[in-house]
Structure 1
Amino acid sequence: MGRNMLNHNVRGIVFDCYNTLLDVKAKESSMSTYERLSNWLLYKGVRINPEELRNKYTGKIMDRFGRSEHEHPEIRVEEVFAEICRENAFWNIDEGHLGFEAAQVFRSSAIRHLDVFPQSSKLLENLKHMPMCIVSNGQRAFSEFELKFLGLYDYFDFVIFSSDFGYRKPDTRLFQTAVEWMGLEPWEVLSIGDQPNNDIYPPESIGMRGMHIHEAWKRYT
């Protein structure tokens, strides 16, 4: 199995995260998500009703996207919440710390299902002898913790989250960074994911190989 990949000169693997390794269902737009966060923020010194919270959150994200110099912009969700907390605080707060916490409460309130695909667990175990990393359109503020408490984080040499760079897939620079950090040539690295327009075609355009996660399950588990 693993030797089959090595025979094809693959020396490193890049994985997508969500709907590739992690099976996730979240309702970030649901008013119930904002109701829970709004109630929690009261205990932290921030008063904002759920509807206004949702409007400010989406509006600030769109504003940041509109001002970005990148074709596929990304934000840091904790910075958005920090700004909202500062504007609506009724006592002195540590906005940076509270923004980070609010991002995690928001995520936990939105999650309806989160687990590891069993096929992906087997895949990672079968390929653990190879250098592996994640390239994800994810927010480090909560995505890193999800990988950790689900037991996947230590499989990887490093994890690249779009929130750290200000741009997201299909921007090929994320894959170029992964290849450079692995110390490999593009043609030696295989990208595995669930969305061809994000996880297969962009890395292939810079000389990497691409494979859908369902095909990887068939071949290597």
Structure 2
Amino acid sequence: MKDTLKHSGMRNKLAEVLIEKGIEDKNVLNAIRKIPRHLFMDSSFEGHAYQDKAFPIAANQTISQPYTVAFQTELLQVSVNKKILEIGTGSGYQTAVLLALHTKVYSIERQLELFKKTSIFFKKMGYRPKKMIFGDGYKGMPEEAPFDGIIVTAGAPEVPKALLSQLKIGGRLVIPVGIDDQIMTLFVRKSEKEFQKTEYGSFRFVPLLENKN
């Protein structure tokens, strides 16, 4: 598949849909306009790429709804050279949006099939996260901590303490918490032991899995 002017136009329309739904961060919207989402999906589903909906990918996972990607990214409040940990590389679309914002992305994928597929795709496309590993997202990446932001792209039944501990003071953790439906939750680290928690409504994600490797 190629990335054409037609695809660019479809991305612009998608960004307009996200604006109507309340996304305000211009840098996030520009990243959505820039990243060719259709290339992250099987070519037979190209027609679905710029609709605002999630879609199945390999290993019984999904590529997140563009609104969800934009909403979580907006909550992170990223800026250039911020150090971001992503739990759940998946298709790599969220990773690419973060890279388009010129952040330093560290990513963990727990499904070996997806890890291998997305690693190859990133090399082909020239996407360069600082580090991408196959591992347990519940454990985070302590050897690279602390992080300015942590984004979890799967539903967690509870908030992993390891992730909270790997935030910088002032750092932000964006995580969907719950079993069937999840509540999008933001934790801001105020001090060594104090975290400010804010909830942002109901979303639905595939479950965050552990102890695979």
The two structures have a TM-score, normalised by structure 2, of 0.35
Bigger relative contact order, structure 1 or 2 (CA pairs below 8 A, ≥6 apart): 1
* Structure with the higher fraction of residues in helix conformation: 1
- Structure with larger Rg: 1
The two structures have a TM-score, normalised by structure 1, of 0.34
